[in-house]
Amino acid sequence: MIQDTLEKSFGFSNFRDGQQQVIEQLVSGNSAVAVFPTGSGKSLCYQLPALILPKLTLVVVPLLALIEDQLGFLHSKGIAAASIDSSKTHEENLETYRLVKSGQIKILMISVERFRNERFREFLKQVPISLLAIDEAHCISEWGHNFRPDYLKLSEYRKEFKVSQVLLLTATATPKVIEDMVAKFSLDKESVFKTGFHRHNLHLNVAGVEHKNKANFLIEWLSSKRGSSAHNCASSIVYVTQQKTADDIAELCRSNGFRAAAYHAGMGNDERTAIQTAFMSNEVDVVVATIAFGMGIDKSDIRHVIHYDLPKSIEGYSQEIGRAGRDGLLSNCQVMANLENIHVLENFVYGDTPERSGIENVLNEVAATDGGRWEVMLNRLSVKSNIRSLPLKTLLVYLEMLGIIKPLYSYFAEISFKQLVEEKDIIDRFSGERQQFVIDLFNACPKAKTWHKVDFEVLAESGVKPRDRVVRALEYFEDQGLIELKSKTMIDLYQVDSNFDYSKTLNELEQLFSSKEIAEIERLENIIKFFAGDKCLSQTLANYFGDDSVNRPCGSCSVCMGRVAQIPGGEQKKLPERDEFIQLIKPLFDLIEEKQPQFSLSSESICRFLCGLPQPAFTSLKANRLEGFGALESYRYKDIRGCVMELGYS
């Protein structure tokens, strides 16, 4: 059956390494973990079983670009697959809901954030699911290089929707992360399938290049790869850290005759899509990009991946070079290494660590519930605690792990509907108790000219409850084309155990974030050691991910070729004098005194202001418009911290 499906539905005659074992595991009714290198065909491990398993396969994917790429492939094979996402119109999502309910869709793809949608969860309760497949599953682990708090809840969603089987897919999991993934989903070690990590066709090269020489080095390197074509070169990705660098280097490449384009998160969706399409169709040869580019790219003939700036981690580097040479042909992976901009990567890490005062602010809210229920509007809590959105989500997850809060459900603070037919026509569709329920529902909703707001408090007082029945009824009306729904402002509801040791919890949370900060800084130190090392790069990389099958030097990397990188830069810059420091931060103190005198300006906030690191408090105060904001962004955070402490700020 498996072989027949492979040939008839996908047009392949053979499996790649590891695919058949994982697929057999799933088809036989078990769960699996697939740890395969980037570009090795992990997606087939859920796509093929989905055609054999009796119910829906639900796939969690981290990026919209990945969803679009995989749907394009499935549709080209005539396989019934769809997504529910923000890029779709209201009508398109409604049609997808209908097709899933009727069993006409075998594969449904979503982002992890979709689970926070109250209406989507109500929909899932009506749909039997055979398999939950989780792409980039290393995001589940707080020890992974790309931990995403929402991923940590996936094991609970699996239980909530009674999904018997799960498939975890990743290319960049260390042994520690694999162990964490397996534990979170209560799987056994026998469910883990790993293939050899090393890809012999990728030639890894590292060159120490001073910052001032990087642009020339890049142009000379790309020019040497042009071959017989005077104007074009093979498909190449140049990775940079900052958006401005992407724009500048793309322009430099164009001025030197390359068909090049920049790609980064600062561009609009349409512009990014156009660049990706042009790259896939070989109208653009060189894309200069931040890490926003690549996750949705399944282009087999990318010959060159160049790191103009240092990657953030060995895991990130591995994922990015894995986009080269998927056709098995020789491909070059070049790193231009120097330490002159290492502070940029370090500062991102420090900027995401919550201050103790921010953690206290959140704990005060938790304690104030007195054992009751706690409603959290993330943006509002972010501003109040001065903790950025992602670390705030992580903090809430830590509180869950400590047993202090328990997520109950999420709901929209506001749901409104517009009638597409007369109210009487809707009521007349029902009889008995159901008709009375619908009458009471409409009577309790404040009427407006077009949109009617659903007031759940008024509904409850009028005897129209529970809330989930109201939501299901409205969903049904919309599904039948009787109304149009819209919703906004998500609220997460938690049950609170207020009998916790406040001081102990505060210290524990502060230590968790401190450990996370140290681990992220160690990742940066590890990548520098890796690039400056005198051991075979391919062998060292494979061993890092627990693949000890590469037991001899590759013979083709820059180290094996006798070119051990000497990485320049990293010298400590002379910091401004005391009076200059005071002058730079004075406008910030003046602004706070004028606008928000109750805000306590800590040493960390001062450091982040000088480094140009955004904070919710700065955004609300418009402090990022002050002259001193980012004035010392070219310095290392820890050096600025030392100076600020010397000034007596705490």
Task: Name the residue with higher pLDDT: 569 or 310.
Answer: 310
Six-digit token pair at 538? Answer: 């391919």
Statement: residue 475 has pLDDT above 70: yes
Report pLDDT digits (tens) over 276-311. Answer: 889 999 999 999 998 767 666 778 899 999 999 999
Could you count the other beta carbons within 10 Å of the beta carbon of residue 356?
15
**What pLDDT score was predicted for residue 291?**
74
Q: Lowest-pLDDT range, 383-392, 466-475, 533-542, 553-562?
A: 466-475
The single residue listed with the structure tokens 């670390």 is 391
| pTM, 2 dp | 0.78
The C-alpha atoms of residue 261 and residue 247 are separated, in whole angstroms, by 8
The CA angle 93-98-104, to the nearest 5 degrees, is 110
Round the average pLDDT of the chain to a whole number and report it: 88
Least confident of 4-8, 286-290, 489-493: 489-493
Residue with tokens 């594969």: 107
Cβ proximity of 263 and 289 under 8 Å: yes
Model pLDDT, residue 120: 87
Tens of pLDDT, residues 337-379? 999 878 888 888 888 899 999 999 999 999 988 768 898 998 8
Query: What does the pLDDT average to over 473-498?
Result: 86
Question: Greatest CA separation found in the chain?
Answer: 85
Residue 282, Ramachandran bin (φ over 0: left; ψ between -120 and 50: alpha; else beta): left
Span 134-139, mean pLDDT?
Answer: 92
Per-residue b or e along 253-270, where b marks 16 or more CB atoms closer than 10 Å to that residue's CB: beeeebbbbbbbeebeee
Is residue 142 scored above 80 in pLDDT? no
| Number of Cα atoms under 13 Å in the Cβ half of residue 601 | 24
More confident residue, 71 or 248: 248
User: Who's near 556: CB < 8 A, 6+ residues apart?
Assistant: 203, 204, 538
The stretch 182-208 carries a mean pLDDT of 91
Are 363 and 372 in contact, with CB atoms under 8 Å apart? no
By three-state DSSP, how is residue 522 classified? helix
- Could you give the C-alpha distances from 181 to 33, 167, 250, in angstroms and in order? 9, 11, 39
The answer to whether residues 479 and 97 touch, using CB atoms and an 8 Å cutoff, is yes
Mean pLDDT of the 115-121 span: 81
Give the pLDDT score at 511. 93
Residues 455-469: what's their mean pLDDT? Answer: 79
Q: 496 pLDDT band (50/70/90 cuts)? A: very high
pLDDT at 296: 62
pLDDT at 490 over 90: no
Q: How would you list the strands of the sheet with 165-170, edge to edge? A: 81-83, 107-110, 56-60, 129-134, 165-170, 32-35, 192-194
DSSP 124: H
DSSP SS3 for 288: strand
Residues 450, 484: Cα–Cα separation, whole Å = 11
Q: According to the model, what pLDDT value does residue 225 have?
A: 85
Among 59-63, 79-83, 573-577, name the one with the lowest average pLDDT: 573-577
High-pLDDT (> 90) share of the chain, %: 44
pLDDT of residue 59: 97
- pLDDT for 165 equals 97
Share of the chain above pLDDT 70, in %: 97
pLDDT reported for residue 209: 96
pLDDT given for residue 147 in this prediction: 79
The 10s digit of each residue's pLDDT in 218-266 is 999 999 987 644 456 899 999 998 889 999 999 999 999 999 999 987 8
Q: What's the pLDDT at 499?
A: 86
Is 159 a residue whose pLDDT tops 60? yes
- Cross-strand pairs, 57: 107, 131
User: Residue 392's pLDDT band (boundaries 50, 70, 90)?
Assistant: very high
Long-range CB pairs of 294-299 (<8 Å, 24+ gap) are 294/237, 294/319, 294/320, 294/323, 295/62, 295/63, 295/65, 295/66, 296/63, 296/64, 296/65, 296/66, 296/67, 296/68, 296/69, 297/65, 297/69, 297/323, 298/69, 298/73, 298/326, 299/235, 299/323, 299/326
Alpha-carbon distance values, 143 to 75, 150, 298 (Å): 36, 15, 27
DSSP string, 379-436: HHHHHHHT--HHHHHHHHHHHHHTTSEEEEEEEEEEEEEEESS-HHHHHTT--HHHHH
Q: Is the pLDDT of residue 571 over 80?
A: no
Band the pLDDT of 35: cuts 50, 70, 90: very high
CA distance 194 to 96: 35
So what's the pLDDT on residue 351? 85
C-alpha–C-alpha distance, residues 191 and 239, integer Å: 35
The SS3 assignment for 587 reads: helix
Given pLDDT bands bounded at 50, 70 and 90, which one contains residue 650?
low
Q: How far apart are CA 341 and CA 262, in angstroms?
A: 20
Q: How many CB atoms lie within 10 A of CB 603?
A: 17
Asked if 404 and 366 count as a contact pair (C-beta separation under 8 A), the reply is: yes
Q: Quote the pLDDT of residue 645.
A: 86
- Distance, CA of 181 to CA of 173 (rounded, Å): 9
According to the model, what pLDDT value does residue 269 have?
79
